[in-house]
Amino acid sequence: MLRGNNELWIALTVMVLITGIYALAIRLTGGIPPAREVFGHGLGILGFVLMLMTETLYSLRKRSRSVRWGRMSSWLQFHIFTGLVGPYMVLLHTSWKFNGLAGATTLLSVIIVVSGFIGRYIFTRIPRTLDGTEIEASLSQEALKQARRLMALWHTIHIPIGMALFVSAFVHAGAALYYATFLK
């Protein structure tokens, strides 16, 4: 169960550190680091790996009933952390240019992060045990049913947007490799 905001504070702290490194790169190079150079590529690759971890690891743990790889609440906190830091790094990777497929991918990233905040809010309205299992507790049954319906609706929106984001990101990465690396 998400009782505190530790994952949000840790993500914010890491994002401030990344911003400091980015500002230092701007100072040292005299401009915004281009996406196609080593620093920009590094941000994009590391951010994309964090986003892949966001998408896959939590989902795998959620669906794994036979293997216990830690508490679901810890996995959700990790999901939230990587779901904030990864897209932030990808945003910095863009060099503040939002053209074509890369721009669409960035837009999908922003939408999925906003959707994640909405989902986190809805999720915290459903009472759960420390393992993350729903309990029929203090809320009236009607409020609990409403929260569950909202969560189901949110899933039907959030998951397809996430899939579209990753299709777009893989196409972008493949095209970048092809046009910037293999054709040279």
109 versus 148: which is more confidently predicted?
109
Q: What distance in Å separates the CA atoms of residue 13 and residue 118, rounded to the nearest whole number? A: 21
13 versus 148: which is more confidently predicted?
13
Averaged pLDDT score across all residues of the chain:
82
Q: How confident is the model at residue 47 (pLDDT cuts 50, 70, 90)?
A: very high
On whether the CB atoms of residues 131 and 62 are closer than 8 A, the answer is no
Burial of 89 (0-12, 13-18, 19+ CB in 10 A): buried
Mean pLDDT, residues 168-178 taken together: 86
Q: How confident is the model at residue 183 (pLDDT cuts 50, 70, 90)?
A: low
Residue 115 has pLDDT above 80, yes or no: yes
Residue 130 has pLDDT above 70, yes or no: no
Helices (H), the chain: 6-29, 38-63, 72-93, 100-124, 141-177
Mean pLDDT, residues 30-39 taken together: 86
104 versus 123: which is more confidently predicted?
104
On whether the CB atoms of residues 90 and 106 are closer than 8 A, the answer is yes
pLDDT at residue 4, rounded to an integer: 66
pLDDT at residue 62, rounded to an integer: 72
pLDDT at residue 139, rounded to an integer: 52
| Residue 170, CA distances (Å) to 30, 66, 163, 182 in order | 31, 31, 11, 16
Residue 46 has pLDDT above 90, yes or no: yes
- Non-local CB neighbours of 25 within 8 Å, separated by 6+ positions: 33, 39
Q: What is the pLDDT of residues 58-97, one digit of tens each?
A: 777 777 767 677 777 788 888 889 989 999 999 999 888 8
Domain regions of the chain by residue span: 6-182
On whether the CB atoms of residues 88 and 22 are closer than 8 A, the answer is no
Residue 1 has pLDDT above 50, yes or no: no
Q: What is the pLDDT of residues 131-143, one digit of tens each?
A: 555 555 555 677 8
